A and B are shown apart, each in its own frame.
Chain A
Amino acid sequence: MEEQPPERSEAGAEACGEKRGLSQAAEESIEDRISLLLRLRAQTKQQLLEYKSMVDTNEEKTPEQIVQEKQIEVKIEDLENEIEDVKSNIEMKSLALSRMKLSVALRDNMENMGPENCVLTDDMKHILKLQKLIMKSKEESSELEKKLLDVRKKRLQLKQASRSKLLEIQTEKNKQKEDVDKMENSETIKTMKKKLQTEIKITTVVQHTFQGLILASKTNWAEDPALRETVLQLEKDLTRYEKNPTV
């Protein structure tokens, strides 16, 4: 009699064990099935999205005229860039959204956290400090940039001023040259030149007369050095003064 209850309890225990095993297996299979169903649902959603987008594209009218290959390439690149822009927009928006969600969750959990609270508050204080530092350094950098810009402007102004001054100097020099040229062609110079010519002619005639006088007197002018000097001087050609008036 006493053996039977333990047997029955054993059998009962085994039966319980089996039931537990069965329910576990059933649970697992149910879980598998649920996950499969969820996955299939996600798949069908994605495929539906793809088909919808295809339908939408087919509703748009494609241009019938034959576009050149280069233009097609450019268009394709533009469209690809558009896709990239939209994608980056979505990424930024989802980033902002997740950030907001995080801050809301943080705020809600602040009361509930105990010893971990101080770590969080320390982190947040550190973040605030760093952000203040960032803002300050940004202001400083913008001020420095402004100064740099001012210095550059001044430099440009100085350059322009020096350029204009040099231009003035050049025009002045040109004017002077013109004046000199003009003077050379003026009337006074011409009359002076004529006078010079007549004077030279007179002097040449006088020279020749003196030469004739000395030669006709039949003296030996080579012996007397003073007489020789005079004769040689009379031989000098005066027309070179006409050619080079500065001598």
Chain B
Amino acid sequence: MSVLRSMDKLPDLNRATVLLVSTEDALLQQLAESMLKDDCASELRVHLANSLPLPSNVNRPRIDLIVFVINLHSKYSLQKVEEFLQHVDSSFFLGKVCFLVTGAGRESHCSVHQNTVIKLAHTYRSPLLFCDLQVESFRAAMARRLVRILQICAGHVPGVSALNLMSLLRSPENPPSKEL
């Protein structure tokens, strides 16, 4: 029962680890496969998790990026993600946490409003990405994006740090409210 800390362990050489957290297993599997298919110069490690806190008996490399996947069609995923956020140390939120939202395309099935997620991302000052993970091409594009973000968070890109990226991806201060 431990809190995830960002700089507890030393990094492995040329290795970048991403932790995908969500209540939906299938999405995570598909996303992980897309990410591994993408070729990049560093060695990629993808860890999948259904719930935090992670069991502490496993020997795990340093986690560089945490991606919380929220499905707008189920309130349960949002609830769980909000619970998981308590188990993450605040040092992670300096650019090493990312929120990925899926299912925004079909408005009729959405039980979670977009503004809720936007506010959540704004509170935690983390970038919010929208993607429909069911479609292959979108998933591949998002996987590439995540791989680039992961490389920056792992320190593999000289001159750009995670904090730098966070301020680059900063969204406007007042999230615009959608007129119904």
A83 lies within 8 A of chain B by Cβ: yes
Main secondary structure of the interface of B (DSSP, over half): loop
Write the B142-180 contact mask toward A (1 if CB under 8 angstroms, else 0).
Answer: 000000000000111111011110010010010000000
Write the B54-93 contact mask toward A (1 if CB under 8 angstroms, else 0).
Answer: 0000000000000000000000000000000000000100
Chain A positions 46-99 with a Cβ under 8 Å from a chain B Cβ: 46-47, 49-51, 53-54, 76-77, 80, 83-84, 87
Q: How far is the CA of A43 from the CA of B64 in the complex (A)?
A: 13
Are B156 and A46 in touch, CB under 8 angstroms? yes
Segment from B6-14, B18-26, B104-112, B133-141 that makes contact with A: B6-14
Q: How far is the CA of A80 from the CA of B11 in the complex (A)?
A: 27
* Chain B interface bracket (under 10, 10 to 19, 20 to 34, 35 or more): 20 to 34
Are B158 and A83 in touch, CB under 8 angstroms? no
Are A77 and B155 in touch, CB under 8 angstroms? no
A-B interface, 10 closest residue pairs, ranked by CB to CB distance from nearest: A47-B155, A42-B158, A46-B155, A83-B167, A43-B156, A46-B158, A54-B7, A47-B11, A50-B155, A50-B161
Q: How far is the CA of A45 from the CA of B161 in the complex (A)?
A: 11
Are A80 and B167 in touch, CB under 8 angstroms? yes
B125 lies within 8 A of chain A by Cβ: yes
B1 lies within 8 A of chain A by Cβ: no
A39 lies within 8 A of chain B by Cβ: yes
Residue of A46, A50, A51, A80 near B170 (CB, 8 A) is A80
Residue of A36, A47, A54, A76 near B91 (CB, 8 A) is A54
Residues of B within 8 A of A46 (CB): 155-159, 161
Are A45 and B158 in touch, CB under 8 angstroms? yes
Residue of A42, A51, A80 near B7 (CB, 8 A) is A51
Residues on B lying within 8 angstroms of A by beta carbon are 7, 11, 13-14, 41-42, 91, 125, 154-159, 161-164, 167, 170, 173
Residue of B11, B154, B173 near A77 (CB, 8 A) is B173
Q: How far is the CA of A47 from the CA of B7 in the complex (A)?
A: 10
Taking the closest CB of chain A, its distance from the CB of B89, in whole angstroms, is 12
Residues of B within 8 A of A40 (CB): 13-14
Taking the closest CB of chain A, its distance from the CB of B128, in whole angstroms, is 16
Taking the closest CB of chain A, its distance from the CB of B6, in whole angstroms, is 8
Q: How far is the CA of A54 from the CA of B6 in the complex (A)?
A: 10
Write the A139-170 contact mask toward B (1 if CB under 8 angstroms, else 0).
Answer: 00000000000000000000000000000000
Of B11, B14, B91, B155, most buried by chain A (CB within 10 Å of CB) is B155
14 A–B pairs (Cβ distance < 8 Å), ordered by A: A39-B14, A39-B156, A40-B13, A43-B13, A43-B42, A43-B158, A44-B13, A46-B155, A46-B161, A50-B155, A54-B91, A80-B170, A83-B163, A87-B164
Residues of A within 8 A of B14 (CB): 36, 39-40, 43
